[in-house]
Amino acid sequence: MIIKKFNFKRDYEKCIQFLTDCYAENKNIQCWLPGRFDDFVFRIGNMERHKKSVDFIYLFEENNKIIGLIAPDGEAFNSCIKRGQEHIFAKMVDFAEEALSPLFEKDKNGPNDFYVISHDSLTYQAQELQQRGYVRQPEQDFDNVFHPLEQDCSITLPRGFRQTYGADLDETMKAEACHYGFHPENDDGILTHRVGDIIPSFQGRKKSRYFKDSFESLIITDDGDICSYSFCYVDRQTNTGFIEPVSTREKYRHRGFCRQMIYGIMNRLKQMGIENAYINSYDWRRKVYNAVGFKTEDSISYWLKKIPARQRD
């Protein structure tokens, strides 16, 4: 087995094919969807606080074919492993604790928090992590949820609001509205600030091979103010949509806009002939996504271990 660092020009197509094949075989996203990988590389990879994460993607290969993939997920180690190759997980953890350590360095002298993300259905991973001294952090759990696109959804909005796919709206306004959904303390009320690294991330995802078929979903006022925002990666090869991110600005919350916006996504995906929509679900969002018909495919856990800081010269 060969372990090598991801090189975009050399390895991108191989990674996409690996994840496509994994989905075709498993019909679930224990291995990332290709659209999620593109979101990591092109959107998140253009955010300053996560930029170096893309430099810590590693491939595990046999006979020049990928059998495993390390992709840091925020400040955590995540893995995708081909069915039948589960034995490489232990080697992945050994490798990651050393190779990914620069991502987690917080204290020059003290130990660093090293997180591993694992699907709960992969019980062999939990057993391995427990043996190594990792401790599950239940407060950080989230779910992979999916929605089989079987029927049209009815969109009902108050007067003065409408659902749109946003192609004719200002890019900066959309980027800011999305950011403010997660950071309401930054909201100036009229979408005029230019927020740090948000614009580059919005532009970066246009490099995704899925961008042409992908689309935005928004709820806006008749005056053009953006209330809720989401983006959906559409992959016709896997016949899936991956929704990321979903946000509603604080002043427009508790009106059901998130639900109506997602209904718009599902209607459009169904019109395109897509079979399943996926999203990551956590905290209060679980209630929203369950209410619109998403079903839990698998639960995801964070496992923590304190690892001594590397010796420095």
48-68: pLDDT as tens digits: 666 678 889 999 999 999 999
Q: Rounded to an integer, what distance in angstroms lies between the CA atom of residue 248 and that of residue 5?
A: 37
Tokens of 25: 């075989």
Specify whether the CB–CB gap between 203 and 241 falls below 8 A: no
Q: Rounded to an integer, what distance in angstroms lies between the CA atom of residue 128 and that of residue 89?
A: 8
Write the CATH number of the domain with boundaries 150-274. Answer: 3.40.630.30
pLDDT of residue 19: 98
In the DSSP assignment, the letter for residue 130 is: H
Total residue count of the chain as it appears in this document: 313
The whole-number mean pLDDT for each consecutive block of 10 residues of the chain, a chain of 313 residues, reads 95 97 94 94 77 88 96 88 96 94 72 91 96 94 88 88 88 88 85 71 90 95 94 96 92 92 93 94 83 91 86 41
62: which strand partners?
Answer: 65
Q: Rounded to an integer, what distance in angstroms lies between the CA atom of residue 104 and that of residue 257?
A: 37
Element (H, E) at 255: none
pLDDT of residue 66: 98
Question: What is the chain's Cα-based Rg?
Answer: 20
247-287: pLDDT as tens digits: 999 999 999 999 999 999 999 999 999 999 999 888 777 88
Tokens of 210: 């899925």
Residues 6+ apart with CB under 8 A from 58: 3, 4, 5, 6, 69, 70, 95, 96, 99
**Exposure letters 71-110 (e unless 16+ CB within 10 A, then b):** bbbebbbbbbbbeeeeebbeebbebbbebbbebbeeeeee
Same fold, 2-143+299-307 and 150-274: yes
pLDDT of residue 21: 97
Strand 161-164 to strand 226-235: parallel, antiparallel, or no bridges (unpaired)?
unpaired
Residue given tokens 């595990």 in the structure block: 60
pLDDT of residue 313: 38
Tokens of 141: 């759990």
- Domains of the chain, residue spans: 2-143+299-307, 150-274
pLDDT of residue 201: 83
Specify whether the CB–CB gap between 202 and 147 falls below 8 A: no
DSSP letters spanning 66-110? EEEEE---SSSB-EEE-TT-TTHHHHHHHHHHHHTHHHH---SSS
Q: pTM score > 0.85 for this model?
A: yes
Answer whether CATH 3.40.630.30 is correct for domain 2-143+299-307. Answer: yes
pLDDT of residue 197: 64
Specify whether the CB–CB gap between 152 and 270 falls below 8 A: yes
Residues 6+ apart with CB under 8 A from 235: 20, 33, 34, 35, 210, 213, 241, 242
Residues 6+ apart with CB under 8 A from 90: 128
pLDDT of residue 50: 62
